[in-house]
């Protein structure tokens, strides 16, 4: 039945469990909408026949609806919307939370190409290789204008925004090749901004990534240049700590909650900060990225405008790693509070 509906709606084959879940919701919405439309059309046709004007003396009677009529007319459509929400919202939440241990890949959109980079190398243009059966988290940004990373076979679409990064994840079922498009008009060659997702057998992917990293290491040794701040084999949080230390971030921001030149990174993520203008912002991924790229735009109340911009100094993968490091410094028992400090949940024994 699902395959028939997929063909009728001109959908490509589903290459992941998420794609099948999205299709199920899509089919349910389409079927219920069509049934409701047929019911309304049939009722209107029956009323036209049953209550048509039969003579010049016919007068339209005044009808006083009962309360249960109004409840029925409002409740039935509302019930459909609530059912759609009950199915779709958990799918949305799941799509935004990569499972633990997911492999990270950095994605950068640029007129008119896609660049993919793995922590510690390698990188590639317009070809993304991933293992089948393993979760993959994509950290997406743009170098110029707004793009949209779209893989129809995975029912996966996520905007790529300049100056910040967004994330999504997927897990492909089996080896194969899938087309990648840009789904946001980005200029004259928008339609040619194509790439390919290559899903490999896990053992073949492991061999490929090891070979690429050995080649990258040999190239770096031959060129006698310093290694990348994103060391191969390390976690994203460890890489973020390394970037922060090398770039001097920890000279101004403490990680233990103590006050310093800049706001402490301890429990900073999702904390509500009061700015010098009086506005209050939430320190989410977008804010943390903006604070690195344009620190003078949103100055936290009580601190001076002394932070330099890191626009052009940090690559998108390095920015993403620093943000992940800051997120790791949030303790589970802390909830977001105002800028005067974190607010701790009460626990037994305290």
Residue 322's closest CA among 164, 216, 125, 170? 164
Under CATH, what is the fold of the domain 236-344?
Answer: Cytochrome Bc1 Complex; Chain D, domain 2 (1.10.760)
**Calpha distance 326→322 (Å, rounded):** 6
Q: Which one has a higher pLDDT value, 125 or 198?
A: 198
- Convert the pLDDT of each residue in 210-223 to its tens digit: 887 776 555 544 44
Question: Is residue 96 very low, low, confident or very high in pLDDT (cuts 50, 70, 90)?
Answer: confident
Per-residue b or e along 34-70, where b marks 16 or more CB atoms closer than 10 Å to that residue's CB:
eeeeeeeeeeeeeeeeeeeeeeeeeeeeeeeeeeeee
Q: Which one has a higher pLDDT value, 159 or 5?
A: 159
**Calpha distance 325→327 (Å, rounded):** 5
Q: What is the pTM of this model?
A: 0.63
- Convert the pLDDT of each residue in 284-319 to its tens digit: 888 888 888 888 888 899 888 888 888 878 877 788
Per-residue b or e along 142-171, where b marks 16 or more CB atoms closer than 10 Å to that residue's CB:
beebebbbbbbbbbbebbbbebbbbbbbbb
| pLDDT of 186 | 92
Please report, in angstroms and rounded to a whole number, the separation of the first and last CA atoms in the chain: 57
| pLDDT of 81 | 87
CATH 2.60.40.420 fits 103-215, yes or no: yes
Q: Kindly report which listed range (211-220, 227-236, 244-253, 258-267) carries the lowest average pLDDT score.
A: 227-236
| pLDDT of 335 | 46
CA angle 169, 175, 176 (to 5 degrees): 90
Is 284:278 a contact under the CB 8 Å cutoff? no
- Convert the pLDDT of each residue in 152-208 to its tens digit: 999 999 999 987 888 899 999 999 999 999 999 999 999 999 999 999 999 999 998
Q: Kindly report which listed range (56-60, 131-135, 166-170) carries the lowest average pLDDT score.
A: 56-60
238: pLDDT strictly greater than 60: yes
Collapse the DSSP code of 178 into the 3-class scheme (helix H, G, I; strand E, B; otherwise coil) and give the result: strand
1: pLDDT strictly greater than 80: no
DSSP 339: T
**Calpha distance 102→99 (Å, rounded):** 6
Burial class from Cβ neighbours inside 10 Å (0-12, 13-18, 19+) for residue 306 reads exposed
Q: Kindly report which listed range (111-125, 181-195, 268-282) carries the lowest average pLDDT score.
A: 111-125
């Amino acid at each position: 039945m699902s395959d028939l509906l997929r063909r009728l709606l001109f959908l490509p084959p589903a290459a992941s469990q998420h794609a099948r879940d999205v299709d199920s919701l899509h089919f349910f919405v389409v079927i219920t909408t069509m049934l409701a439309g047929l019911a309304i059309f049939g009722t209107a046709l029956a009323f036209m026949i049953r209550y048509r004007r039969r003579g010049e003396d016919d007068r339209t009677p005044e009808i006083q609806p009962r309360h249960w009529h109004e409840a029925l007319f409002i409740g039935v459509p509302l019930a459909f919307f609530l059912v759609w929400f009950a199915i779709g919202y958990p799918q949305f939440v799941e799509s935004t939370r990569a499972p633990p241990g997911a492999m990270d890949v950095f994605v950068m959109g640029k007129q008119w190409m896609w660049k993919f980079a793995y922590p510690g190398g390698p990188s590639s243009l317009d070809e993304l290789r991933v293992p089948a059966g393993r979760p993959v988290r994509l950290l997406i940004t743009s170098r110029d204008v707004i793009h949209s990373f779209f893989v129809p076979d995975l029912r996966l679409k996520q905007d790529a925004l300049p100056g910040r990064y967004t994330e999504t994840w997927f897990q492909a079922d089996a080896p194969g090749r899938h087309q990648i498009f840009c789904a946001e008009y980005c200029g004259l060659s928008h339609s040619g901004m194509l790439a390919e997702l290559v899903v490999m057998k896990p053992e073949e992917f492991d061999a490929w990534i090891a070979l690429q990293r050995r080649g990258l290491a040999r190239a770096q040794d031959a060129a006698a240049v310093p290694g990348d701040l994103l060391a191969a084999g390390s976690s994203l949080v460890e890489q973020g700590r390394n970037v922060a230390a090398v770039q001097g971030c920890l000279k101004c921001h403490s990680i233990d909650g103590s006050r310093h030149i800049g706001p402490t990174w301890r429990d900073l993520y999702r904390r509500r900060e009061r700015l010098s203008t009086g506005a209050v912002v939430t320190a989410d991924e977008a804010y943390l990225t903006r604070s690195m790229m344009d620190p003078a735009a949103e100055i936290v109340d009580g601190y001076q405008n002394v932070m330099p911009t890191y626009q052009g100094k940090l690559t998108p993968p390095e920015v993403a790693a620093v943000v992940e490091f800051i997120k790791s410094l949030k303790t589970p028992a802390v909830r977001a509070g105002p800028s005067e400090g974190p607010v701790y949940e009460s626990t037994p024994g305290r």
